[in-house]
Amino acid sequence: MKKILFVFHSSTSNSGPVGHLLRQRGYEIEIRVPSEGAELPFTMNNYEAAISFGGSMSANDSETLPFIRTELDWIPVCLSSGKPFLGICLGAQLLARALGAKVAPHSESKVEIGYHPIIPTFAGSKYFDSPLSFYHWNAEGFELPSDAVKLASGERFENQAFRYGENAYGLQFHPEISRNVLEEWAATADTKIERKLKLPGAQSWEEQIEKHAQYGSVVENWLEQFFSLWLKQETNSNRLST
């Protein structure tokens, strides 16, 4: 069976529609959690693709969190293999850093929490045929790496999606979010998170769940079509429709 590697930054991570849709396509999912001691593979020979997911840590924590340094060193292994690679949120920031770009907080200490629209570039029209709202949980953003193609921009964090080479992608947003995860987060009493929800650019839990009901199925449809392009599989449309 075809296998895709998922790199989680916490054992409690949930791949949501990402895992569900890839399993529907016939892929076996292998999960590794480097933060809990799992090693990353020396080659991509046993995998069709790899996805690095989000996390609460920073892509700049390489000096204090050894697994961040390990992943930064490992990403070039994926890129040199030619296999498809996808970075989601922290994963995208790690990809950007591995390619020499900077990752930093917003200059005005703004955050991007909840559903926010992204605007496709001309090059991104293959992937987004109109503005679309995705779920975000960002306090940092990335610069566009050299030789990368910008696919979408946002209001608070300029760079929202990019392609590097033929099949490596970084997404600042979270297409894997599900209602169950949002409800679990909302039910968790965490003073640090509650403080973040008071920052400029953050939506309340109620607003996040309401907007997920509005946009969740649209994002899942987008994700299904994106996978067709990312994995070079046939799709019914040559553009990703909203």
Question: For 198-229, how does the pLDDT look when each residue is reduced to its tens digit (9 = 90+)?
Answer: 888 899 999 999 999 999 999 999 999 999 99
> Does the pLDDT value for residue 156 go beyond 80?
yes
Tell me the DSSP string of 106-174: -TT---EEEEEEEEE-TGGGGT-SS-EEEEEEESEEEPPPTT-EEEEEESSSSEEEEEETTTEEEESSB
- If you average pLDDT over every residue of the chain, what do you get? 93
pLDDT of residue 212: 97
Question: For 53-91, how does the pLDDT look when each residue is reduced to its tens digit (9 = 90+)?
Answer: 999 999 999 999 999 999 999 999 999 999 999 999 999
The domains found in the chain, sorted by start residue, are 3-230 (3.40.50.880)
Distance between CA 7 and CA 91 in Å, rounded? 9
Question: For 164-197, how does the pLDDT look when each residue is reduced to its tens digit (9 = 90+)?
Answer: 999 999 999 999 999 999 999 999 868 888 888 9
Query: Tokens 């926010």 correspond to what residue?
Result: 116
Q: What percent of the chain has pLDDT over 70?
A: 95
> Does the pLDDT value for residue 136 go beyond 90?
yes
pLDDT of residue 201: 87
**113 falls in which pLDDT band (50, 70, 90)?**
very high
> Does the pLDDT value for residue 238 go beyond 60?
no
Helix or strand (DSSP H, E) at 86: strand 85-88
**101 falls in which pLDDT band (50, 70, 90)?**
very high
CB atoms within 10 A of CB 126: 14
> Does the pLDDT value for residue 103 go beyond 90?
yes
Query: Tokens 């060193």 correspond to what residue?
Result: 73
Nearest alpha-carbon partner for 139 in 40, 52, 56, 42: 56
> Does the pLDDT value for residue 11 go beyond 60?
yes
pLDDT of residue 234: 53
pLDDT of residue 188: 84
User: Between β-strands 140-142 and 28-32, what pairing exists: parallel, antiparallel or unpaired?
Assistant: unpaired
> Does the pLDDT value for residue 239 go beyond 90?
no
Question: For 24-38, how does the pLDDT look when each residue is reduced to its tens digit (9 = 90+)?
Answer: 999 999 999 999 999
Distance between CA 35 and CA 11 in Å, rounded? 9
